[in-house]
Amino acid sequence: MKSKIIILILTVSLAVFTINCSGFLEGGWLDSNPNTADVVPLTSQFVAMQPITYGFYSADAGIFSSIFMQHMAGLSNQYIGYEVYGMTNVEDFGMFNQLYMTGGLIDMKDIKAKCIEEERTTMLAVTKMYEALLFATGADLFGDIPYTEAANSDIENPKYDTQLSVHTACIALLDEAISALGSASDFYDDNLDFSFGGDRSHMIAAAYSLKARILLNWAEVNNGNYALALTAAQNGISSTSEDWSIPFADSGDEQNVWYQFLNERGEGYAKPAKYLVDLMNATSDPRRPLYFELDDNDEYSGSEHASWDGEVSSLNTSDGYGSAAWDLDIISYEETLFMIAECQYQAGDEAEALATVNTALGVVEAKLGLASDSIQRISGLTGTALLEAIMVEKYKTLFLSPQCWNDWKRTGFPQISSNADKDIPRRYMYPDDEANTNSNFPGVLTMWGRNQNDPGDPLYLKK
């Protein structure tokens, strides 16, 4: 049974999400707060690491990318500017720091060292998985980042590792975790494990799916990665019971991050975007009631990009994706199937790709309790039209996931465009503190700078 001990608290400034460890570090082995203790118990560090990683993945990384990808639209206060990509280095400061500070790499290195000393094979493997998730996502967002020399008190100015080397290191961590978990038999307290419940086969499947995602994110640069990603995905998550999810609950400190965001700030800060809503209205998609509330006209509607229309539907915060206890996926069975379908397409197996994406839609129906065949299936498509259909269905399915931004940068699908006087951003900016304090700072890069795995635009974006 999944533990529901999650802390994802909103700060009141600059849309930066932080983690409050004081609320859940209570009782038994949780009595020591890792933010204040001189000698931090391993179990406390391991417990804190998980929700902090969840916060990094689902909070600003998820919220900003959902605006870039027009899942959601920014409509109020500073989000009026975010809607047209008016971010500054300040907004990205919290995300960058979360890679390294409490619960990030500093603690992850310490956890791994203690696990080795205490022969905690399973805990070590899970920590490597969270480190791979955190830094693969960080490199997706920022590109080159400090990693191999970071969180080392002997190195004042850590070098910036290339995006490729960070992702390669993350794959190595996952391979080490998979190998260790395959033969691990040490005692592992599943009460410490919020996503996997102590199930090692679940961990292995999730690690393979994350490996496939990292490999696929480089396939635009190296086409050989399609075959590697296919192999990893086929060993990955094979049922919804193996999803790597963030478990939320109704109580105040454990609520879905979108619920907290809109409950604290008001639903007018962000509402569904017209692009996504129109896609789903076109096929009467049965997921709409789980994604959106009806507007005042009893219709599903979204705000057109850069129009700031506050009269449209809201995110469903009562019993859908934005509700307090709705678990958000980090990586899922359906995403794994979409990865397989894309790789099959790239290998020339169009019939298999078509079958796999339709299987994925069936998985979504069963997972969400929808009627069989209620999501419109793909048929009769070949060539680029088939690839576009695969990616559009994945885009609709991975609602609110930051991975959609990576998919769009890699494939150009769905064909989202900007109504602002700026193109859709390609990366996050380094915070000013890095320029001021790290002599190895690589230089100021804008939100439209290109990371290594994002070299070119599809034809429809070229001007």
pLDDT tens for 371-420 read 999 999 999 999 999 999 999 999 999 999 999 999 999 999 999 999 99
Task: Give me the residue label for tokens 């999810």.
Answer: 245
pLDDT above 70: residue 236: yes
pLDDT above 60: residue 1: no
Task: Give me the residue label for tokens 């931004």.
Answer: 405
Beta bridge partners of 303: 273
What is the C-alpha to C-alpha distance for residues 307 and 399, in angstroms, rounded to an integer?
Answer: 21
pLDDT above 70: residue 2: no
pLDDT tens for residues 248-276? 999 877 899 999 999 888 888 999 999 99
Average pLDDT value over all residues in the chain:
90
Point out the least confidently predicted range of 36-40, 257-261, 409-413, 451-455. Answer: 36-40
pLDDT tens for residues 342-373? 999 999 999 999 999 999 999 999 999 999 99
Percent of the chain scoring above 70 in pLDDT:
90
Please state the domain extents for the chain.
9-258+325-455
pLDDT above 60: residue 232: yes
**pLDDT average, residue stretch 18-34:** 33
What is the per-residue pLDDT for 462? 56
pLDDT tens for residues 144-189? 999 999 999 999 999 999 999 999 999 999 999 999 999 999 999 9
Beta bridge partners of 146: 160
pLDDT-derived band at 88, boundaries 50, 70, 90: confident
pLDDT above 60: residue 24: no
Domain at 9-258+325-455, CATH from 3.40.50.450, 1.25.40.390, 3.40.50.2000, 3.10.129.10: 1.25.40.390
pLDDT tens for residues 116-141? 999 999 999 999 999 999 999 999 99
| Helix residue spans in 59-188 (DSSP H) | 60-68, 78-82, 89-98, 105-118, 121-142, 163-183
pLDDT-derived band at 35, boundaries 50, 70, 90: very low
Task: Give the pair of three-digit tokens for residue 55.
Answer: 């916060």
What is the per-residue pLDDT for 87? 86
Cβ proximity of 275 and 72 under 8 Å: no
Q: What type of residue sits at position 356?
A: T
pTM here is 0.92
**pLDDT average, residue stretch 417-434:** 92
What is the per-residue pLDDT for 300? 98
| Helix residue spans in 267-423 (DSSP H) | 274-281, 288-291, 333-346, 350-368, 383-397, 403-411
